[in-house]
Amino acid sequence: MVHLDVIGHDEEGIQVAETMNETTTLGLTPEQVESFKENGFIGPFDLYPEDEAPLIWNQALIEMVTSRNKPHNSTVINYDRHLDCDTLSRVVTEPAIVHKLASLMGDDIICWKTNVFEKNPGGDGTGWHQVETHMLYESETVAYPSIRYTEETKAVTQELTVWTAFSNADKDHACLRFIPGSHKKWYYDETKPIGYDVQSKAHSFFGYNFSELQLDKDWNPDDSKIVDMEMKAGQFVIFVAKCVHASYPNITRDKRIAFAGRYVPPSAKIYENRDTITAFGDTIDLDYYGTVLVSGEDRYGYNRRHETNMNGVPFRKVDRNGR
């Protein structure tokens, strides 16, 4: 899409229309990039109108329930439904998201995973945590990374999450919380195996107790620094998963619904040498698995890639040159 509505000046000072494409209009400003570098997160941004977002989610739910092409049969591992639900396939490739990611990661971007994050009325908050390789905790003694980064990057970061609210997510409705600047330092050792116990209150990270991984057992987040990311339905926030984050409990009668897309450059190796993955006490076969190139090129070919979703619908690839 090309906009001709930006007014500039020619050499004689006469006003002229300048061309401006999606890359400019939907990307981040230099100030936003600086703010991200400092804080580790940026947002919220509008994606869908507030009144439409719940309807879009209802459509996604129908597709998830009625899908004939489910990527896997696990009910506890809620990964990768962008691969079989057309609505979610569109969400992960939305230009308003991808152009902003490219401002931070460069043009070559794959979506390597998605998660549904629902919090039922009265649901517990998510405990503080930070990750980079998205370790999978198979048992108390076995853990392995989802991602191996094969290169240093010249970009601001090589790993981003886009968390989109499909219901209102204010403090009462379990909004996300961030510790600004915490991505510059490790507070947790994500590589250490930890056990899974869905019944235990202390296991506040979806059945895992991330505080077992805390490097300094006496460390506590400084309340005065925490940013509560209140969001309306249809908004998204971008963050680096190494930025320490958590969410409030849901103290309302409404469900809080969010959908997270995870993105890396194609130089990253996903689920290297693995045929299955185990998490949350369940195991899934990776036969279905593939990444989605949402922008740019994959010059590496390290990861299996899906050009279409499992219903045969081509994934949109965002054109960063605005053609």
C-beta of 19: minimal distance to ligand AKG in Å? 37
User: Which span sits near ligand AKG by CB under 6 A: 44-52, 95-103, 223-231, 240-248?
Assistant: 240-248
Under the binding rule (CB under 6 A), the answer on residue 248 touching ligand AKG is no
Under the binding rule (CB under 6 A), the answer on residue 241 touching ligand AKG is yes
Are 284 and 80 a contacting pair, CB within 8 Å?
no
Are 243 and 178 a contacting pair, CB within 8 Å?
yes
Q: Which lies closer to ligand AKG via its Cβ, residue 163 or residue 289?
A: 163
C-beta of 210: minimal distance to ligand AKG in Å? 10
User: Which span sits near ligand AKG by CB under 6 A: 13-21, 25-33, 144-152, 241-249?
Assistant: 241-249
Number of neighbouring beta carbons within 10 Å of residue 216: 8
C-beta of 275: minimal distance to ligand AKG in Å? 25
| Number of residues that this document lists for the chain | 323
Under the binding rule (CB under 6 A), the answer on residue 157 touching ligand AKG is no
How far is Cα 65 from Cα 55, in angstroms, rounded to an integer?
15
Under the binding rule (CB under 6 A), the answer on residue 247 touching ligand AKG is yes
Under the binding rule (CB under 6 A), the answer on residue 117 touching ligand AKG is yes
CA gyration radius, the chain: 20
Q: Which lies closer to ligand AKG via its Cβ, residue 261 or residue 265?
A: 261
DSSP per residue, 20-86: EEHHHHHS--HHHHHHHHHHSEEEEEE-S-TTTHHHHHHHHHHHHHH-SS-S---SS--B-GGGT-H
- Exactly one of 87, 161, 204, 309 binds ligand AKG (CB under 6 A); that residue is 161
Give the SS3 label for residue 231: strand
Are 320 and 23 a contacting pair, CB within 8 Å?
yes
Task: Compute, in degrees rounded to 10, the torsion defined by CA atoms 290, 295, 297, 302.
Answer: -20
C-beta of 248: minimal distance to ligand AKG in Å? 9
C-beta of 246: minimal distance to ligand AKG in Å? 7
C-beta of 306: minimal distance to ligand AKG in Å? 22
How far is Cα 109 from Cα 316, in angstroms, rounded to an integer?
13
Q: Which lies closer to ligand AKG via its Cβ, residue 250 or residue 309?
A: 250
Under the binding rule (CB under 6 A), the answer on residue 163 touching ligand AKG is yes
C-beta of 296: minimal distance to ligand AKG in Å? 24
Give the SS3 label for residue 282: strand
C-beta of 189: minimal distance to ligand AKG in Å? 17
Q: Which lies closer to ligand AKG via its Cβ, residue 241 or residue 277?
A: 241
Residue 137 bridge partners (DSSP): 143
| Chain residues 250-269 in contact with ligand AKG, contact rule CB under 6 A | 258, 260
Closest CA to 159 of 98, 41, 96, 240: 240
Contact residues toward ligand AKG (CB under 6 A) are 117, 126, 161, 163, 241, 245, 247, 258, 260
